[in-house]
Amino acid sequence: MTTPTVVVIGGSHAGTKTIKQLDASLKSKANIILIEERDSFYYTVAALRSVTEPNFAQHLWVPYTNLFLNNKSSKVIQGRAAQIREHEVVLADGQTVQFDYAVIATGVKVPAPGQMLKTTKQEGLAEANKLLNAVKNAQSIAIIGGGGKLLIRNLDQWANDHTAVGVELAGEIATDYRGKNVTIIHSGASLANRNDLKPKAAALINDQLKALGVTVKLNQRVLPDGDTILPDGASYSLTPQTLRTSTGDVVTADVVFLCTGLAIPNSAFVSAGLGDSALDSKGFVHVEETGQLKNFKHIFALGDVSDFDNVKLAYTTRAQSAVVASNITTLVTNSGSPLKTYTKQQPGAFAVIAIGRNGGVMQTPLGVFGAWTTKTIKSGNLFVPKIWTDMNLKSTYTGPSN
C-alpha cells in the first residue's frame, strides 16, 4: 500500500503548526511535504524590532531543519506554488508535486516593514540592516497609519485584521531612540480605531506614546503625490520626504514608513488551478467549518489566506491547525471519527499590542492590562525564544546585548 502524501503550502504560523501536529499524529503513516518560498520560517510578529535593535533580525529567521521529528521521508521544497490542481501542485519553476491531501496556508502579502518580502535569510538581513541604519541616522521619522484594518486590493473590502503596525513601529523607535522626532499621521479619530479595542485600551496606547514623545496627528490623510504616497509606490522611503495632509499640515521627515497596509491574499495560485469558485468575494480561500474546500474535500485551507476566521492573528492558527490536522489524520487513518469543526473567534476578544520593549496594551475577556503585564507577556522578547522552541530548536536570543 502506497504511503499517502500530505502537501502543506506555506511555512509560516498556520503551516508549521499544522505540520507539527500531523508529524506527531501520523508519523510514518503519511509523508509530509512543505512547499515554502522562503528558505526559513520568518517570524513576522517580531519584525518591527529589527528596525531598531542591532542583530535582532537574525533571530527572526528560523531554520526548518528540525520541523519533522517522526518521519525521515518528510521534507521541505523551497519554491513558489504557481497553481494547485486536484492532486498536484505546480511550482513556478515547472516542477510538479503530487499529493493525496493538501493544506493551503500561504497567508497574505503586506508591505515592509510589517512583513518580509525577501525569500532568503541573506536578502532579508540585508534589508533589515538597511532600515536599521536609516532609522539610526535619521532625526525625524514619519509613520503613515496608526493601526487599522487592511484594505484588500481591487476589492474595496475590509479584512477584519487587528494589526497595529504603525503604533507598534512608533513604539519601537521612540523607546530605543528617545531623542528622535517620531510622528504618526492617522486618518481616524483615535489610534487603532478599527481594531475593536475598548476605550481603556485605546487610552493606554495614546498615553504611552505621548510619554515617549511621539507626535500623533489624527483625522488626517496624507495626500498622494500623483498616484502614490511615496515615490514609486514604495512602502517606505529612506530619503527625506515632505508630506502634505488633508488638513493642510506639512510634515517633513528623513525616513517615512507607510503602514496603511494593502493586504493581498496569496491565493492566485488557488483560483488558477481550482477555479474562482474556490475563493470568496474578497479573494480568500473559502472553506467549510472543517477547513475543507467545498468541492475538494481532500484540500484544506487555514490562516490569513482563508476565510476560516475573519480575525487575522497568529494565535488563531493554533486552534485552526488543531482542527485541520485532526481532520486530515481522521481521513488518512480512515478511523471513521466525525470531523472536527472550528468556531470563529470574537473580534476584539484578545489583542496584545507592544509599544516598544517596555510597554504595550493587552485586551482580554478578563479586562484591559497596561505596560507591565504586556511587557512581561509579550513586549520584552516578543516570544522569540518560544518560536524557536516551537520549531524544535533552541534560541540564542537573550536580549538587546546579544
Mean pLDDT, the chain, rounded, equals 91
The dihedral formed by the CA atoms of 284, 285, 291 and 293, expressed in degrees to the nearest 10:
150
Measuring CA to CA, which residue among 61, 51, 52, 200 is closest to residue 124? 61
How many residues would you count in the chain?
A: 402
pTM of the model: 0.92
User: 184, 141 in Cβ contact below 8 A?
Assistant: no
pLDDT, tens digit (0-9, with 9 covering 90-100), for 228-287:
899 988 889 999 999 999 999 999 999 999 988 557 899 999 999 999 999 999 999 999
Beta strand pairing call for 359-364 and 292-293:
unpaired
Element at 277 (helix H, strand E)? none
Per-residue confidence (pLDDT) for residue 62, from 0 to 100: 98
Distance CA 239, CA 134 (A): 9
Written as tens digits, the pLDDT of the chain (402 aa) is 699 999 999 999 999 999 999 999 999 999 999 999 999 999 999 999 999 999 999 999 999 999 999 999 999 999 999 999 999 999 999 999 999 999 999 998 876 666 778 999 999 999 999 999 999 999 999 999 987 543 333 333 333 333 588 999 999 999 999 999 999 999 888 887 666 788 899 999 999 999 999 999 999 999 998 888 999 888 899 999 999 999 999 999 999 999 885 578 999 999 999 999 999 999 999 999 999 999 999 999 999 999 998 877 788 899 999 999 999 999 999 988 999 999 988 766 788 899 999 999 999 889 999 999 999 999 999 999 999 999 999 999 998 865
Radius of gyration of the chain (CA): 21
- Grid look-up 473567534 returns 345
Instruction: Look up residue 285 and give its amino acid.
Output: V
Q: How many CB atoms lie within 10 A of CB 277?
A: 11
Distance CA 285, CA 277 (A): 9
Any idea what DSSP says for residue 243?
E
